[in-house]
Amino acid sequence: METKPIEPDGNDEKQPVMEAILDTVEDGKKMIRIVKPALIFLISSLGIAALVLIFRLGHGIWPEWIIEYRRQILGIVLFALFGLSLGTPIMIEATVNTKPLVTPEKTYYHGPWS
């Protein structure tokens, strides 16, 4: 029994596969315009917060709890900055190259899942 392949998006439309791939690439480019500036803003904000804590800028107006836990807060900020800096390329790549998850319900052919 010969099986008929279905379209990659799961329906039987006659849209060519190449057009579906190009649409996915365009969607990735649109998403990167949102994600990249957000990551830059977040990394910059954490960097500024780390510099303020390291050099004690505005030390006179800090609440008492910030003065008391400055090193712990600095450690958390630097850890988040380090992790975000290492994870940024992975986040950008995952945003640009989204691929559909192939599950037994959404296979490209109507055969046994193996």
> What residues make up the domain containing 58?
17-98
pLDDT digits (tens, 9 = 90+) for 37-95: 999 999 999 999 999 999 999 999 999 999 999 999 999 999 999 999 999 998 888 88
Is residue 23 situated within a structural domain? Answer: yes
Q: Write down the pLDDT at residue 101.
A: 59
Is residue 24 situated within a structural domain? Answer: yes
Is residue 69 situated within a structural domain? Answer: yes
Is residue 103 situated within a structural domain? Answer: no
Q: Write down the pLDDT at residue 104.
A: 61
Mean pLDDT of 16-37: 74
Phi-psi region of 7 (alpha: psi -120 to 50; beta: other; left: phi over 0): beta
**Cα distance between residue 90 and residue 19, in whole Å:** 26
Is residue 112 situated within a structural domain? Answer: no
Is residue 6 situated within a structural domain? Answer: no
Q: Write down the pLDDT at residue 40.
A: 94
Mean pLDDT of 6-32: 64
Is residue 66 situated within a structural domain? Answer: yes
Q: What's the structural domain count of the chain?
A: 1
More confident residue, 73 or 99: 73
Is residue 107 situated within a structural domain? Answer: no
**Cα distance between residue 47 and residue 49, in whole Å:** 5
Q: Write down the pLDDT at residue 46.
A: 97
**Cα distance between residue 94 and residue 111, in whole Å:** 29
pLDDT exceeds 60 at position 110: no
